[in-house]
Structure formats: structure tokens, C-alpha cells
Amino acid sequence: MAKIKIILNGREVFATAGLTIYEAAKEAGVDIPTLCHHRALLPIGACRICVVEVNGQRNLQAACAFPIFENMDVQTESPRVVAARKLILDMLFAERNHYCPFCEISGDCELQNLGYRYGINHWEYSTYRKPFALDATRKYFLMEQNRCVLCQRCARACSELVANHTLGLRQRGAESMIHADAAIPFADSTCISCGTCLQVCPTGALVDRRSSFMARGEQSERISGICNKCSVGCGIHIVTRGGNVLRIEGDWDAPVNAGLLCKSGRFLPLYEEERERIAEPLLRGKNGLEPVGWEEALQAVADQYNKTDALGKVLLASSDATNEALYLASSLFGDGSMQLLSGAAPNLGDKKAGAFSDLPGSDMMLVVGANPVQDQPVASFLIKRLVDQGKRLLVVDDEDNGLSPFAEATFHLKDIGKAVQIAETLNRVTVLYGVGLTDKAAAVLNKLDTKACFIPLEPGINTCAAVKFGLNGSGKIAGAKVLYILEGELNVNGTEMVKKAGKNTFVVVQAAYASELMNKADVVLPSAIWSERSGTLTNTEGRVQTANQAVEPLGEARADWEILAMLAHKLGKNLGTSFKDISKRAAKQFKGKEI
């Protein structure tokens, strides 16, 4: 990109053409304060905190929205600029009831930080003139209008990022309020509780219920991880304090979701998980399952494994296991029967593989046999906001589909030819398909080979890797002598599967939570959950990403790969001596994909 010269606070700076003053200053290491601005949102210049003095301009200009030009002379902290910012802050503090000692976000508040920066030590104008509404109807977070500065970040995020359009402004002037739909309680609105508005709020207007008053920013730690609620593979930050997870936030730098999360990824792991954890290995004895050490539990599994031939070994694997665990599992049971509990999207052969980053450059999005609104919500956010921008969308599905209201047309699978005919008139098409794609429909899609890229919307979590490692077999459970169920965190209704195996089958359950499977298990191996393990996961695009351990495992629980590595060692199999070694071997078996 071409560079142009500007004068920034008396210093010559060469900045990329097309940037705003704010962006050019940031590039040059100069901090310009903002309040309504957010990196993920379009600038609107509403709060005026970022105003700067531009030589030749009569009025102060909003740095977030004013583009740079050759030889522009800008002052970012001149007396005139500082006076204007102090006036704006005085008015903002007077507009609502901003009494910081009572506010949950005191210490991390952007408005409060600006007050300290510009020496606001008293109220210049009268405040606390009237109470404002508090909406606590939502389960996961609340809206405290007394703390709102009307920056509109929440409403803009709801529209621009999530394309849900629930939030907006009502009334005018001093009576302006953020509202949901037609000014109804949030719990009764079209809000989908994705929490994006919560994460972009600069003050204590939107507050997470669970982590309120638990820790200031400097008191907590943020660990990068990967969401394990679907196959999109959203990047997250796990916020912890004292070994406890406080909340989950989206990672604005994550390549897949760019900060977006859905309700399942942000709130459900902390608010809704009520199942009993398994904290120690269990071995069935005369009195049922009894706690034992890892050595005894693994030895019992090894003894049965060693005296069973290949045909008698069956592995049932959930797709929430890490790449490392899937590699070890396939190595241990590859000569037997391996099945994936979640199933997988059809294999379309050598079709051109696509990624979510291809969506903006497509002339049309064609969704076939998949319902991302239900199964991969963040993917649906990406699709819906492109529809808002004018992109075309067609849906082909025999079931009720959450994207149908946003599509220009919806077809049954038997009529997929009509959708393909429309797509053939365009230059670039992205096809997103799921488990509902039939063989006949797949054959019709072949007509788009030259102009389309294809993104599978896999069920489960790490399904792409599981298929690559050969775990999506179709062997029979009946007659199994050793049945190893790699359940992980899924709630598998495996009672019928165990019945198929027979009464004499030796059943091993590797799981994080207690379930009905334990009633049939001979050995139970406690597995660490998403926040307690490190490892790599492969998302539905085939992108390999790293999840980092945030807290210690509960009791004697171990990471999924670590349990299988200990079992491999007990069996005398050299499948890797450390996590790094196992990761390298998994990557090599993963046909060269880098982990």
C-alpha cells in the first residue's frame, strides 16, 4: 500500500493511504482516546472523545472517522482538544448515574479511565437527577441503563456483527435509551444471548451475572483457547482467577470468528453444566465401581486388550477429543473397528475446499442439508450479515431451516437442480453442506465444480480430524470383546450400544461426566474438560488450532490424550513420549497438516 506523509504532533509520520487519523496514529504508536469506537465495528464518530485538531479545519474532527491526506498537520493533545474532551466527559458523567464505587466494572471501565486521564475529580454539572431502568430479565447478563453512555456499541454489534438487529435507540435527546425490539423486556425479545453486546460495552451498562465483582482486569488471567461446542472452532479467551474460570470471551484476533461467540460457546459451559464430574479412576469389583489408582485401572484395560484379537476390539469415539487423542486412539484400535459417535458430513471427494473467509468474495452462498442457525450459530452470523450487505443466499433442505427467512429462495433436496441453475449464472459460489446432503443432491452439485468452493458444516466438534484419522468406520459392535468408549464431555446415550455388545464385553468408558454408561462400565477413566486440557483441534474448514489449559484438572482427571498415552505405554507401544512428540506424530499422520 502507498504511504503518505502527515505531521502528527509536530513529527513527520508516513502512514498507509486510506487510513483514518485514529488508525494512522495507532500505527505510529500515538494513543488517541475513544469511547464509541471499537475495532470490530464501523466508526460513527458519535462520542467525540477522539476529536483532534487538524490544521486548516475550523472545527475539531473525530479521528476515528476522518481520513488522512498528504501533509495533514494533526494535534492530538492540544489545549483546545483537551478542553473539548474534558467538556464531553463532564457531560457524560452528568447524563446518567455514574457513581463508580457502586459499579461492578469500576477499575476496568473505559469511561472511568478517561476521567482519570483528564483529571475529572468532581461533577461539573448536576447528576443523579432521576433513576434509569434496570433490565435483569435475561438469564446470563443484565442491562443497567444508569451506566449507559449511548455509545451504541451494543446496538451496532447486534446489527453489524451478529445480524440479529434486536437492539436500537428509542426516544431522543436526554430521553434516549437502548431498547430491545419494540421496547420490550430483553428476555421477551429476539435476543439470542450471544453476548456480543456484553463484550463490546465500554462501561457497566451490560454486566455478566456470574463473574460480577469477582475480579478486576489486573487480578485475572486470560488464556487463549478454542470453543468446543461445535465444529466452527471459535477462538476464545478463558478468564480465570485463583484457578477458577470466571467467564469466556471471544478472541477478536481469532481467524475464524474474529471475536464472535454464540450462547453455547460463551455461557453454557459455565451456567448450564450441572452434571456430576468423574474425579478418579473406577474399577468394577464385587461391590460395583470402586475408586482405584491410575496404575491399577490402566493395567486392567491393558490385560483385556492384550488377550483380545483385533476383531474383538471396538472403539466408539466422540468428536470433542483433541487431535492428539484421536491419533492415539486410531493407533491403538486401528486394526479393529472404530466408529464416530457424532457422524460426519458426506465426503465430496476432491472438491475445491473452502473457508469462511471465502464467503465475502462469493456472489452467492448455497446452504445444502445444514442448519447452521441451530448447529453452528457463529457460521450463521457470518452468513446473515453478508445477506445484510447484499449477498445472495439459497437454502436447500427438507427440514425447517433457520436461514430460510434470510434466503431469496428455499428448495427441497429433490429440487436442488433449480438452485444449481441459479448458481451457474454467477462467477463465484460458496457451498456450505451438512449431514443432510444426499448422494443424489451431491451428484447435482458436481455441475458447480469449476466455480464453487465447498465448506462442510460437520456435526460435533473435532469431526474433521476424526474422519482424517479413520474413526468414522461402520464396523459392528455386536460380538465385541473390548468396547472402548471415548465419551469425553458429550452426553452419549450409549446404553443401547452397550447392549449390542453383549453381557461379556469388557467396557471401558473414558469420560468427564457421570452418565448411564457407567452402569455397564468395567473401568471408568476420568477425563479433563475443555478448560483443563491442552491440545489441538481441527475445525470444519480443516484449520488446526491450539487450545491451552486454563485451570488444573479436577481430582485425578487427565487430558484425553494423556490417558491414551499412558495406556499405550502400558501396552508397550511407542506412540510418543511427550505432548510435543505426540503432536508431531499426529500432524505427520494427518497428511502433512501443520499442528
Whether 7 and 53 share a structural domain:
yes
| pLDDT attached to residue 578 | 87
Residue at a domain's end among 61, 77, 93: 77
| pLDDT attached to residue 595 | 35
Pick the closest to residue 255 from 235, 230, 232 (CA basis).
Answer: 235
Has residue 111 been placed in a domain? Answer: no
Whether 62 and 136 share a structural domain:
no
Has residue 114 been placed in a domain? Answer: no
* SS3 assignment, position 115: helix
Distance set, CA 95 to CA 151, 197, 558 (Å): 13, 21, 53
Q: How far is residue 453's CA from residue 457's CA, in Å, rounded to a whole number? A: 13
Specify the number of domains making up the chain.
Answer: 4
Does residue 403 contact residue 367 with C-beta atoms inside 8 Å?
A: yes
Q: How far is CA 493 from the centre of its chain?
A: 26
Q: How far is residue 486's CA from residue 319's CA, in Å, rounded to a whole number? A: 9
Has residue 109 been placed in a domain? Answer: no
Whether 256 and 155 share a structural domain:
yes
Strand partners, 72: 6
Whether 138 and 267 share a structural domain:
yes
Strand partners, 224: 237
Whether 34 and 171 share a structural domain:
no
Does residue 103 contact residue 109 with C-beta atoms inside 8 Å?
A: yes
Supply the CATH number for residue 487's domain. Answer: 3.40.50.740
Whether 142 and 251 share a structural domain:
yes
The bridge status of strand 3-8 relative to strand 72-75 is parallel
Long-range contacts of 280-285 (CB under 8 A, 24+ apart): 280/526, 280/555, 280/556, 281/523, 281/524, 281/525, 281/526, 281/556, 282/518, 282/521, 282/523, 282/524, 283/522, 283/523, 283/524, 284/521, 284/522, 284/523
Burial of 130 (0-12, 13-18, 19+ CB in 10 A): exposed
Q: Which amino acid is at 552?
A: E
Supply the CATH number for residue 416's domain. Answer: 3.40.228.10
| pLDDT attached to residue 469 | 93
| pLDDT attached to residue 588 | 83
Residues in Cβ contact with 199 at an 8 Å cutoff, skipping those fewer than 6 apart: 157, 249, 250, 259
Residue at a domain's end among 77, 109, 134: 77
Supply the CATH number for residue 19's domain. Answer: 3.10.20.740
Whether 135 and 240 share a structural domain:
yes
Whether 146 and 266 share a structural domain:
yes
Pick the closest to residue 562 from 538, 534, 531, 584 (CA basis).
Answer: 534
Supply the CATH number for residue 175's domain. Answer: 3.30.70.20
Distance set, CA 409 to CA 43, 75, 213, 392, 513 (Å): 33, 53, 48, 10, 43
Whether 382 and 332 share a structural domain:
no
Whether 449 and 471 share a structural domain:
no
Has residue 93 been placed in a domain? Answer: no
Q: How far is residue 190's CA from residue 464's CA, in Å, rounded to a whole number? A: 33
Whether 328 and 474 share a structural domain:
yes
Has residue 100 been placed in a domain? Answer: no
Does residue 513 contact residue 276 with C-beta atoms inside 8 Å?
A: yes
First vs last Cα of the chain: how many Å apart? 32
Domain of 42 in residue numbering reads as 3-77
Has residue 231 been placed in a domain? Answer: yes
Has residue 305 been placed in a domain? Answer: yes
Q: How far is residue 446's CA from residue 427's CA, in Å, rounded to a whole number? A: 15
* SS3 assignment, position 3: strand
Helices 560-570 & 294-306 angle (0-180, nearest 10): 60
| pLDDT attached to residue 108 | 94
Has residue 529 been placed in a domain? Answer: yes
Q: How far is residue 206's CA from residue 197's CA, in Å, rounded to a whole number? A: 8
| pLDDT attached to residue 591 | 60
Q: How far is residue 353's CA from residue 476's CA, in Å, rounded to a whole number? A: 32
Residue at a domain's end among 77, 96, 117: 77
Whether 239 and 338 share a structural domain:
no
Q: Give mean pLDDT in consecutive 10-residue pieces for the chain, a chain of 595 residues.
A: 93 95 96 97 96 97 97 97 97 91 92 96 84 93 95 98 97 89 94 98 96 92 97 98 97 97 97 96 96 98 95 92 96 90 90 94 97 98 98 97 97 97 96 96 92 95 94 83 94 74 90 92 97 96 96 98 96 90 85 43
* SS3 assignment, position 400: coil
